[in-house]
């Protein structure tokens, strides 16, 4: 499950903690998995700014998982900024869907 963020934010809120707690349980049950946490943004803002914001989002999710006891060497981060939107729309619904950190299993 992805973690969603507020506008111009990389803060892990209560709902994000719940989602990350669930992801942590799955990862604990699969100790050979390596996960890449992808940081994404909505289309507003410059490409450079959104790459940095996406990185802050991915790192915030990674740091939370590490604080739960998951080994950092199993958690990679990458930022895609606004380059790969999940929702191609141009409204608040689309922007909300695109402000996220998405966990992808990259090795098993």
Domain range 3-107, CATH class: alpha beta
Looking up tokens 């998995």, which residue turns up?
Answer: 33
Convert the pLDDT of each residue in 6-21 to its tens digit.
Answer: 999 999 999 999 999 9
* Under 8 Å between Cβ of 94 and 1: no
- The phi, psi pair for 103, rounded to 5°, reads -95, 130
Task: Record the pTM.
Answer: 0.95
Helix spans in 1-108 (H): 14-28, 47-67, 92-98
Domain ranges (residues) in the chain: 3-107
Q: What span, in angstroms and rounded, lies between the C-alpha atoms of 71 and 67?
A: 9
pLDDT exceeding 90 applies to what percent of the chain?
Answer: 97
């Amino acid at each position: 499950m992805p973690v969603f963020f507020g506008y111009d934010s990389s803060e892990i809120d209560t709902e994000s903690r719940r989602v990350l707690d669930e992801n942590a349980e799955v990862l604990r049950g699969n100790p050979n998995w390596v996960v890449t946490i992808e940081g994404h943004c909505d289309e507003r803002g410059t490409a450079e700014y959104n790459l940095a914001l996406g990185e802050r989002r991915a790192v915030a999710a990674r740091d939370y998982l590490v604080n739960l006891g998951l080994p950092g060497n199993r958690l990679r981060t990458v930022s895609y900024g606004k380059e790969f939107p999940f929702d191609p729309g141009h409204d608040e619904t689309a922007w909300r869907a695109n402000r996220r950190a998405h966990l992808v299993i990259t090795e098993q």
